[in-house]
Structure 1
C-alpha cells in the first residue's frame, strides 16, 4: 500500500487550518504545530470575501459553509463622517455571480468553522520552531523543546513574525503605516444595523467600520493617525476612543461606549515589504508568513485561503514536491503582491488628513460610475481559476 505524502504545517491560524483542510482533501497526511500553549482566537472579527470560498470550491470542491457561522453581506455602505451616504458597494452582486457569499464573522467562529471542516487531525501546541534540515526525500523540523518532526514538505503558516520565513532566509522588512487600530466585538442593536450590514465612515485621518456578524453581535474597528511607537504604547478606555470620533454620528459613540474598555483591542497598523522568495526546496510559506497586508481591502483571510486552495491543487498529483512548491509560488505571487500593494494604497487614501485630498477622495466615491466601481472591486473579489490552470 502506497504511503500517504505528509505535510508539516507550522501555525494554526486561518492559513494553517485552511492549508490542512486543502491537503487532507487531496489525500495527504497533515500534522499541525502551534507555538502557543493552545488554539486562540482574539476577540475581533474579519471578512472572508467571495474570492476565498470560490477558490476552495472551484479548485478542490470544498464548501466552507461560512454563511452558517457569520453574516452574509447584504448592504455595504461608505459614509462621510457627517453621516452622508457616499456610495453602496456592489459586493453582493459579485458574490452572487461566483455562487459563494461574502461573510463577516468573528475570529472565534471562523476558527470553529475551519476546525469542523477539518475534522480529526494531529495537532501539537507549545511547539516553537528552532530550525529545519532537509534531505533528498524529507524535511525535518527542530523544535525549541528538543523534539523533531519529519515530513515530505514543510509549510510556514506562522504569521507576521514567521520563524519559517526566517529559517529559509527570506527577507521581509516591517513597514509601519502610521496609525492605530481599535478592534472590538459587542452585542449591540441599532436600526441602522440590518442583517448583513457593513458601514464604513471616513473622516480626517481616521475612520470606523460597523459590521453585523450575526446573532446580535457586531464587530467594529476604528483607526486614527498616530506614530506606530505611540500606537503600541496606547492604553485607554472606551471613552478615550469615543473622544476621537466626537461630532460623528451618534451610532459611532454609542457603539464604542457600549463596549467594555477591556474588550477593545489596540494594535499598530503595519505590513511588510513583499518577499521575492517564498519557497526553498521542500519548504514554502503561506498567508501572513508570505504576504502580510493592511486591512483596507479586507483580504488578509481571503488571500490565506486562496493560498491553501492553490497549494492543494498543485500538490494533487505532484511527484516532485520542490517543483510543485515553486509552481505554487509562481502562481500566487503576482496576485498576492497586487492585493498587498492595493491594500497599502487604499489605506493611504483612507487615512488622508489634508482637506483637498480628502475632498477628492469623498467626491470621487460619491460620483464614481457603477461600472468603474465594479471593475475595481472585481480585481480582488473574483477568483479566476484559469490563472491556476494556465501555469
Structure 2
C-alpha cells in the first residue's frame, strides 16, 4: 500500500468465488475485510469448473493451494463432430505455464471454493454465514439483513451473483434477465465407470477437454479430481423445462438418453452413465452502463457486474480479474471515488468484450448441419483472426490468458481491452 492510500474497512456481500477472491486480494493489501453470506454452511456442491491461466496465475500469487488440490491440468481442447466423433479442430495447451504464466486447471468447484476459503481465513478475513441481505443503504454504505442487522463498511462490494439484489438498486435500472433459450445439464460421472469401457477410457486418461458440437447443442467434458470424476456440461436448446420463477430443475436419465440417442456412441455412453443431475436455465443481462453507485462507496463485482454464459469458461476468471484490479487501484489512489472510477474504467471494457464474445459462441457452437457448419469446421482449424472460436486464434488466446489484472501499467497502451476480432 502506498503512503497516500489508506487501509480501509471493507464489506463484501457474497462468499462465492468472486467475493472470496476480492476478500483475499484486498486483505493481502492491508485492508480489513468482512464477508457476509446467506448460507448456513459451505457444503460440497456443484460440478467441474475450468480455471484458465489468467485467473490461475492470480490465485497462485495470492497463496491459494491449487497444486495441492485433486485436479487435472489440461493439455488441450478437442472439438469433435456430434454424429461420428471425428475431429473438427485441436487446440494444444502444452505450454500454458511458460506462455501464460500458469497452467490451465480442471477442478471440482467445491474443491476450488474450499481452497480459496482456507486461504481467505488464513489471511485473516472475517466470514459470517446466515446473513441474508434484503436491502442496502448506499449512503452509509451498508447491507441490511432479513433480521434488520446493518453491516457497514467504508467500501461496500456487492458480489451477490447472477440473481443480484444489489444490481438494480445500484444502477437504478430494472433487472430483466434475458433467457438465452438454452439450458445447461450439469453432470458428474465416476471415472471408474469410464475406465471400464475402452471407448471412454481415454476421456479419463488424457487430460484434454472434449467438445462435441452438434445442431442446437454442444457438450463439454473433462476429467477432474485426478480422474476420479468426469465432468459433463450439455448446453442445449431448452424444451420448456424452466420458467422465469424456477431456473433449476431435476433432469432424468431417460430424457437425456432419448434426446441424444443419435449422437456419437462415445457421448451417448456418457448419457447412459449419467446419474441424477440438474438442468439450469442459461440467462444473461445487457452490458451495464456502470458498476458504481453515485455515492462513490459501493461497487459491483463478478457476476453481479457482468453475467457470463458458460461458453468461454470465463465467469469465475473474470471475477478473479476484478478482484486483482480492485486491490491495485485501492493501493494506488487515496481518494476512494477516484479508485473506483479507475477500477471500472480498467475492468468494464475487457469484461464487456468477453461477455459479447461468450454470447456469440452460443450460436457458433450450435450451428445446424449444412454449408454454414462445413465452413465453420473448416476455419476452426485455422490459426487466423477468422477462426470463430475466440481462443482458437493464438493472438486472442494470448490476450485472454496472459492478461495480468494486477499490472495496471501494461494497460496504458497496446489495446489490452480490445483483441483482434475478424
The alignment's TM-score, normalised by the length of structure 1, stands at 0.90
**Match for residue 333 of structure 2 among 298, 314, 318:** 318
Aligned twin of 1:377: 397
**CA apart distance, 1:363:** 2.4
Instruction: Show structure 1 runs of 4+ deviating over 6 A.
Output: none
Q: Contact 2:79 / 2:89 at 8 angstroms: preserved in 1? A: yes
> 5+ unaligned residues in a row in structure 1: which ranges?
none
User: Greater relative contact order (Cα 8 A, min sep 6): structure 1 or 2?
Assistant: 1
**Per-residue displacement from partner, 1:282-337 (whole Å, max 9, x unpaired)?**
10011000001111111011101111111111112432112211110110001000
Instruction: Report deviation, 1:187.
Output: 1.3
Match of 2:222 in 1: 211
- Structure 1's 316 and 227: CA in aligned 2 closer, same or farther, altered over 3 A? farther
Is 1:243 aligned to 2:247, yes or no?
A: no
CA contact (8 A) 1:228 1:269 kept: no
Alignment match, 1:224: 236
Give the Å deviation of 1:67: 3.6
User: Secondary structure of the equivalent of 2:24?
Assistant: helix
Contact 2:85 2:266 in 1 (8 A): no
From 125, 129, 136, the equivalent of 1:132 is 136
Q: Secondary structure at the match of 2:98?
A: helix
Match of 1:202 in 2: 213
Contact 2:143 2:152 in 1 (8 A): yes
The answer for unaligned runs of 5 or more in structure 2 is 388-392, 413-422
Q: Take 1:246 and 1:96, find their aligned partners in 2: how far apart are those partners?
A: 42
Shift of 1:388: 2.3
Partner of 2:417: none
Q: Aligned pair in 2 of structure 1 residues 282, 111: CA closer, same or farther (>3 Å)?
A: same
Distance 2:43 2:213 in 1: 31
Counterpart of 1:168 in 2: which secondary structure?
A: helix
Structure 1 partner of 2:72: 71
Given that 1:90 and 1:374 are in contact with CA atoms closer than 8 Å, whether structure 2 keeps it comes out as no
Between the aligned partners of 1:99 and 1:233, the Cα distance in structure 2 is 36
Deviation at 1:111, TM superposition (A): 0.5
Name the CA distance, whole Å, in 2 between partners of 1:335 and 1:170: 23
- 2:357 equivalent in structure 1: 342
How many Å separate the matches in 2 of 1:319 and 1:369? 44
Aligned twin of 1:256 = 271
Q: Does 2:368 correspond to 1:368?
A: no
For residues 205 and 316 of structure 1, the distance between their equivalents in structure 2, rounded to whole angstroms, comes to 47
Distance 1:213 1:202, change over 3 A: same
Aligned to 1:30, the other structure's residue is in SS state strand
Seen in structure 2, the aligned counterparts of structure 1 residues 80 and 123 have a Cα distance that, compared at 3 Å, is: same
1:83 maps to 85
| Equivalences for residues 1-391 of structure 1 within 5 A | 4-40=7-43, 42-55=45-58, 61-69=61-69, 70-81=71-82, 82-118=84-120, 119=122, 120-134=124-138, 139-171=141-173, 172-188=175-191, 189=195, 190-193=200-203, 194-215=205-226, 216-226=228-238, 230=242, 232=247, 235-261=250-276, 264-280=277-293, 281-353=296-368, 355-365=370-380, 367-369=381-383, 373-384=393-404, 388-389=408-409, 390=411
Quick check: 1:7–1:154 contact (8 Å CA) kept in 2?
Answer: yes
* Deviation, structure 1 residue 170: 4.5
Task: Describe the superposition over 1:24-55 as per-residue Cα deviations: whole angstroms up to 9, x where unpaired.
Answer: 11011111111232325533111110011234
Compute the displacement of 1:106 (Å).
Answer: 1.0
Q: Is the 8 A contact 2:24 2:125 kept in 1?
A: no
> Is the 8 Å Cα contact of residues 96 and 102 (structure 2) preserved in structure 1?
no
What's the CA shift string for 1:53-109, capped at 9, x where partnerless? 23456xxx4243424322110132111111001111133434431221111111101
